[in-house]
Chain A
Amino acid sequence: MNCNEVKNKMIFFLEGSLSDSDWQLTNKHILECNDCKLYLLRIENMLEIINKQKNIEPKPFLYTRLLARIENKEKNKAIFYRKVLQPIIISAIVLFAIFGGFTIGKSYTSTSSSTQISETYYWNDFSQEPIEKAILTDNQ
């Protein structure tokens, strides 16, 4: 077994997950090779760092801080609604009302004018009862 092969098996050697024969060969090499011995110490140190990191705990009173955060989020939501969403919604309603008013107004004008045009266009004076006849009829 050469140094490279041993170095590639170092984590597994330290974890004890090598087969018996591999473990024996690696162990034998490490005992004889100073470079690999040093590398073993370094990898051991690294695994030790992971073990230390594993023991780091969250700051105390996580639940209390969590509740405060949930409440804050709710408050922020309310503030966001009041300060941002509410004005947007009100402006949108006003704009919609204005635009709607214009649209309705426009459509109303256009219909009445078209009726007027058609009435004007189809107006036939002769088919109407002459005023004289009406006066005569009233007199009778």
Chain B
Amino acid sequence: MEIAEDIILVDSIKNGYEDSFQKLVETHQNMIFRVCYGFVKNTEDADDLTQEVFIQVFKNINSFRGDSGLSTWMYRIAVNKSINFLRQQKIRKVFSPITGMFSNQEIHSNSQFVKTPEQIITDKQTEEALNTAIDSLPENQRTAFILHKYDEVPQQKIAEIMNLSVSAVESLIFRAKSNLQEKLKKYYKENC
């Protein structure tokens, strides 16, 4: 059902209907943004990457054959773009340590106004510890974990996106959670 709808939507975009592309963007922008954010943990960069994903979709729409679902294809693009972005960022950080120091500093204003400064600092530290722990996971574990946790993508679909079996995805998510727990345990042992 989803694939039939996708093909109709894709065909109309191929035929130059701008409204269909707008529909595609508006339907999928939040899911793509969440995945990108899960990787980069920065609103600006995630927004930028989301746009990049749609630009690539727009450019390559003619190569979409409908073998997999449209959202699966777009998830793949989002994951690849985010991973490439992080790789480039790592390289940039190596070459310019000063820029690197400021690139990840983001203040999340959500509900911070009701918290005390100490709570805000603790939350910020906790968030940083969590982000560091997620970032240090092996690439495939991180991808499976982000898709599962940030976008609640079903394991079957994650398997399609990552070209793996469902059991392999299940195992990746389990290992990701266990590794994360191990890293956080270490963090609390050292810092609390």
Check B25–A62 contact: CB distance below 8 A. Answer: yes
Quick check: is B71 within 8 A (CB to CB) of the other chain? no
Quick check: is B123 within 8 A (CB to CB) of the other chain? yes
Contacts of A70 in B (CB 8 A): 55, 58
- Complex: chain B residue closest to A68, CB-CB: B51
Quick check: is A120 within 8 A (CB to CB) of the other chain? no
Contacts of B50 in A (CB 8 A): 58, 62
**How many angstroms between the C-alpha atoms of A39 and B181 in the bound complex?**
11
Which range holds the interface residue count of chain B? 35 or more
**How many angstroms between the C-alpha atoms of A84 and B26 in the bound complex?**
36
- Complex: chain A residue closest to B30, CB-CB: A57
Number of interface residues of A (CB under 8 A): 27
The answer to whether A57 and B33 touch (CB under 8 A), given A11-B177, A50-B150, is: yes
State which of B51, B54, B130 has its C-beta within 8 Å of the C-beta of A50.
B130
Check B127–A49 contact: CB distance below 8 A. Answer: yes
A-B Cβ contacts below 8 A, count: 80
Instruction: Determine how close the nearest CB of chain A comes to the CB of B81; give it in whole angstroms.
Output: 14
Check A66–B127 contact: CB distance below 8 A. Answer: no
Check A10–B30 contact: CB distance below 8 A. Answer: no
**How many angstroms between the C-alpha atoms of A46 and B50 in the bound complex?**
25
Quick check: is A7 within 8 A (CB to CB) of the other chain? yes
**How many angstroms between the C-alpha atoms of A73 and B56 in the bound complex?**
12
Check A12–B177 contact: CB distance below 8 A. Answer: yes
Quick check: is A136 within 8 A (CB to CB) of the other chain? no
Within 1-40 of A, Cβ neighbours of B (below 8 Å) are at: 7-8, 10-12, 39
**What 0/1 pattern do residues 67 to 94 of B give for CB contact below 8 A with A?**
0000000000000000000000000000
A binding-site residues for B, Cβ under 8 Å: 7-8, 10-12, 39, 42-43, 45-46, 49-50, 52-59, 62-63, 65-66, 69-70, 73
